[in-house]
Amino acid sequence: MAAAIALWLATPSPRSIAIGAVLALAGEAVRVWAAGHLEKGREVTTTGPYAFTRHPLYLGSTIIGAGVAAASGSLLVGLLVIVYLGVTLTAAITTEEAHLTEKFGALYPEYRNGRTSGAVRRFSAARAIRNREYRAVLGLVIAIAALIAKMYVER
């Protein structure tokens, strides 16, 4: 529903789409990098972007949201994205951190406070695919395609 409202309010231009797509692709790159290091539910991941931030997938999603908002060419869409991401990601982070603390005991709070290091691993595209990051890529492609279509329909 939020995506439909954002598309309806969007006023994309070739320039806004180009700028927004570059920004959104950078966000997706962060997500792919994170997904290529993450062993979901098996351990507290500390390599790749997890060495710099506890929630690189959410950081990537935030950058994607900013990119899609910029591509929309609408300040109102930008405000809606900020509110939507602020509410949903805050709730997700709170829930996820409680779950990880419950699942991994003191290890997660130690990681959160920067006092632990885990297994060292290299990025793996196969791991990113196992973590279904292709779904976020597909969603981004659909969002940009919808904005491009709207731009041509409204001309």
Provide block-wise average pLDDT over 10 residues at a time, the chain (155 residues). Answer: 90 98 98 95 89 95 97 97 96 94 87 74 94 97 97 87
Domain limits at 101?
2-153
Q: Number of structural domains, the chain?
A: 1
**Structure confidence at residue 124 (pLDDT):** 95
**Structure confidence at residue 119 (pLDDT):** 67
**Selection from 133, 134, 140, 14 nearest residue 68 by Cα:** 140
**Structure confidence at residue 104 (pLDDT):** 87
pTM of model > 0.75: yes
Torsion sign over Cα 122, 127, 129, 132? negative
Angle of CA points 108, 135, 96, to nearest 5°: 20
Residue whose pair of structure tokens reads 């997706």 in the numeric block? 28
Note whether 34 and 61 are within 8 A (CB). Answer: no
